[in-house]
Amino acid sequence: MGNKQIIKEIIVKGERIILYKSFKVVLILCLFFALLGCGNKQVEEKNGSLSINQSLLTVNSTNENIIERLEQFYFKTSRPAGKQQMKSNKEMNQEQQKEENKDSQKEQMQKIELKKKEEKWKGLINKIEQLFKNWNRYESEKSLDTKQAKKIEKKMNQLTQQIENNELLEALFQANGLNLEFAKLYRQYYNKKLKSTIEEMRVYVRNIVYLSQIEGDNQTQQSQNLRKLKSGVNELEDLKMKKENKERVKELNHYLEDLEEVITTQNNSVLKIKGNLILNKLNQLK
């Protein structure tokens, strides 16, 4: 065999060896990345949750701000009138002069208050616009079930219409219902059991308070929301959490007992106070 033939065979064999080794390296790398992906998935499954899209958190936060602003408008109470006493003519004249001065001051104050109210109302309308913008951004970033997305958008449209019509209580119920839909997204797409349960419970607390503002017997609906609250506490008790949060969940049980008693008495002012206490306690669990 000639030298040229031998050299050719060596070159061919060398190329085969190089190709074989290259194939092995590629195969090993593929296996490595596949295992790494599985490892990440296992960690993800082990943690039982995914990071929540920031746009969704912003949508939820904007809606919370809308609820707070609506409550400021709806639950604003006037100062109670003082007791009247009999006075002499001189005293009455003096009082009349004082009242005239007060009326002038009162008129100025009313103008200032009206201006403040108009500014607050504009702020509320701006928040509604922000809600739509933030929701559109979230929709562009996350592929949602069409039916689910349309349901949320319908609620947002109804909320806008109710605010434009100055239907404050109806708007409060609507905005509160939106938070329930967001809670479903936390559970469905991100497996955030703690956050979704807390958000759901906040909705039920507010439902109980808002129902107290409607004429008629609403105890049945309030009791239904109370049962959902108790189920929420049971869910929280089953979740792994810090020791201090476990203690807060125990306190929630006592708060719900107090709320149940107030529901039976239908004392609306006390009911709102108890409701706020529960909302504050739920905020501490976040």
Q: What pLDDT, on a 0 to 100 scale, did the predictor assign at position 190?
A: 95
Collapsing DSSP states into helix, strand and coil, what is residue 107?
A: helix
State how far the Cα of 2 lies from the Cα of 11, in Å rounded to an integer. 14
- Domain positions in the chain: 50-73+96-191, 215-286
Q: What pLDDT, on a 0 to 100 scale, did the predictor assign at position 217?
A: 86
Q: What pLDDT, on a 0 to 100 scale, did the predictor assign at position 19?
A: 45
State how far the Cα of 186 lies from the Cα of 177, in Å rounded to an integer. 15
| φ, ψ (nearest 5 deg) of residue 144 | -105, 160
Our measurement of the distance from residue 175's CA atom to the centroid of its chain's CA atoms, rounded to an integer in Å, reads 10
For the segment 3-53, what is each residue's pLDDT rounded down to a tens digit? 445 444 544 455 554 444 454 544 555 454 444 444 433 333 333 557 999
Sequential pLDDT tens for the chain (286 residues): 554 454 445 444 555 544 444 545 445 554 544 444 444 333 333 335 579 999 999 999 999 999 999 999 999 843 333 333 434 455 556 666 666 666 667 777 777 777 778 888 999 999 999 999 999 999 999 999 999 999 999 999 999 999 999 999 999 999 999 999 999 999 999 999 999 999 999 999 999 999 999 988 899 999 999 999 999 999 999 998 888 999 999 999 999 999 999 999 889 999 999 999 999 999 998 7
Q: What pLDDT, on a 0 to 100 scale, did the predictor assign at position 117?
A: 80
CB-based burial label for 131 (10 Å; 0-12, 13-18, 19+): buried
Collapsing DSSP states into helix, strand and coil, what is residue 49?
A: coil
Q: What angle do CA 228, 232, 235 make, to 5 degrees?
A: 140
Q: What pLDDT, on a 0 to 100 scale, did the predictor assign at position 36?
A: 46
Residue 32 has a CB neighbour count (10 Å cut-off) of 10
In which region does residue 266 sit, left (phi positive, over 0), alpha (psi from -120 to 50) or beta (all else)?
left
Query: To 10 degrees, what angle do helices 168-190 and 193-211 make?
Result: 160
Q: Within the chain, where are the H helices?
A: 3-47, 54-74, 89-141, 146-164, 168-190, 193-211, 219-238, 243-265, 268-284
**Dihedral sign (CA 97, 103, 109, 112):** negative
State how far the Cα of 50 lies from the Cα of 156, in Å rounded to an integer. 26
Q: What pLDDT, on a 0 to 100 scale, did the predictor assign at position 9?
A: 53
Closest CA to 175 of 59, 264, 6: 59
The token duo for 206 is 């507010």
Q: What pLDDT, on a 0 to 100 scale, did the predictor assign at position 6?
A: 46
Contacts of 263 (CB under 8 A, 6+ apart): 208, 219, 222, 223, 226, 271
Q: Which residue has the tokens 């809670």?
A: 183
Q: What is the pTM of this model?
A: 0.73
